[in-house]
């Protein structure tokens, strides 16, 4: 049985168990799997946020695919969502226009791109996480020590995949994501010195799309959604800060997409009831989390689940070859 037929059978079984379900897929980057410093995989690969073009192609074989607004419209009417899958992408990377959009156009699929001004080629600097990953991927020194503002001394090693994986998910990465931005910049400067490498000027232009390229995605029929202004965890911000992050992001997306009502995706999946309320009050059509699961008729519009599609996700992994025997 083909992959597509297997997926269709799975959807039919789900309907029998309790009504149609939709799986919202969360992707980030699509890029070749090229080795980086010390012949190790890239940070994006180790974190699971990068698929190869071939792996992305396998995801596209697992339809049927639905547009997010189809799902939202059904839920808003109290109806079951249309069975199938929804493609969503978070943050903002240049290959969306260069690699992803052409593949989607070839197969007639629409996706939702949750975009953020922090991931723009026009930005003054790259997002701290991308700077952190760039430093690890281009390091000249395989071992380092780096102090954090609280006095903690972080030690790291790029001498093995295990050591690099620990850095991509450990205390230093958590500080880069959640720390006060001025302090994060200083720590990244010290890390660059320890790794004997300098962040190049224009890194944002190398990594991210322009506003015009995002407008091109909307013009091609894809949906743009809000993802905050600076990609910060909304629940830890003050009420006023969180409200501005949400409302300004949605207003920016509306400008790029010709006023189309926009969905919202919580940055890093961080949300609480107050954040849900603010997103709803700001006029978003729905909000997506990073909580795994399927969307059903009972799903709350501002707590929609999503599946993080990594290189080892079942929709990506290559099935084992059949064993020998009679044909």
Architecture of domain 3-55+62-123+208-308 in this structure? Alpha-Beta Barrel (3.20)
Q: What is the pLDDT of residues 258-311, one digit of tens each?
A: 988 899 999 999 999 999 999 999 999 999 999 999 999 999 999 999 999 999
DSSP state of 117: G
Say how far apart CA 187 and CA 123 lie, in whole Å: 20
Give me the sign of the Cα torsion angle 99, 103, 104, 105.
positive
**Positions of CATH 3.20.20.370 in the chain:** 3-55+62-123+208-308
- Identify the helix (H) or strand (E) that includes residue 51: strand 50-51
322: confidence class by pLDDT, cuts 50, 70, 90: low
Q: What is the pTM of this model?
A: 0.91
Q: Is the pLDDT of residue 324 over 70?
A: no
d(CA 151, CA 287): 37
User: What pLDDT does residue 22 have?
Assistant: 95
Average model confidence (pLDDT) for the chain?
A: 91
pLDDT in tens, 146-193: 999 998 899 999 999 999 999 999 999 999 999 999 999 999 999 999
In 3D, which of 209, 56, 36 has the Cα closest to residue 139?
Answer: 36
Q: Is the dihedral of CA 27, 255, 84, 94 positive or negative?
A: negative
- Tokens read off for 262: 């926009």
């Amino acid at each position: 049985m083909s992959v597509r037929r297997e997926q269709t059978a799975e959807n039919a079984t789900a309907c029998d168990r309790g009504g149609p379900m939709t799986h919202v897929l969360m992707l980030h980057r699509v890029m070749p799997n090229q080795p980086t410093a010390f012949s190790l995989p890239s940070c994006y690969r180790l974190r699971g946020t990068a698929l190869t073009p071939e792996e992305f192609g396998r995801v596209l074989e697992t339809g049927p695919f639905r547009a997010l607004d189809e799902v939202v419209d059904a839920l808003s009417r109290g109806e079951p969502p249309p069975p199938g899958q929804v493609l969503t992408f978070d943050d903002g990377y240049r290959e969306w226009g260069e690699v992803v959009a052409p593949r989607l156009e070839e197969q007639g699929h629409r996706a939702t791109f949750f975009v953020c001004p922090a991931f723009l080629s026009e930005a003054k600097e790259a997002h701290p996480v991308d700077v952190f990953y760039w430093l690890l991927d281009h390091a000249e020194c395989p071992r380092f020590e780096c102090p954090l503002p609280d006095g903690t001394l972080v030690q790291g090693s790029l001498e093995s995949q295990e050591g690099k994986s620990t850095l991509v998910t450990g205390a230093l990465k958590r500080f880069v994501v959640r720390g006060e931005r001025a302090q994060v910049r200083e720590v990244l400067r010290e890390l660059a010195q320890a790794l004997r490498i300098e962040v190049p000027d224009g890194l944002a232009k190398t990594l991210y799309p322009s506003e015009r390229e995002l407008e091109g995605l909307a013009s091609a029929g894809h949906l743009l959604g809000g993802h905050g202004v600076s990609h910060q965890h909304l629940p830890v911000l003050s009420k006023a800060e969180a409200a501005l992050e949400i409302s300004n992001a949605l207003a920016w997306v509306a400008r790029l997409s010709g006023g189309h009502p926009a969905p919202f995706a919580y940055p890093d999946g961080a949300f609480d009831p107050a954040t849900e309320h603010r997103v709803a009050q700001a006029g978003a059509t729905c909000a997506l989390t990073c909580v795994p699961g399927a969307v059903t008729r009972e799903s709350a519009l501002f707590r929609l689940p999503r599946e993080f599609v990594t290189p080892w996700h079942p929709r990506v992994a290559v099935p084992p070859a059949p064993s020998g025997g009679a044909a």
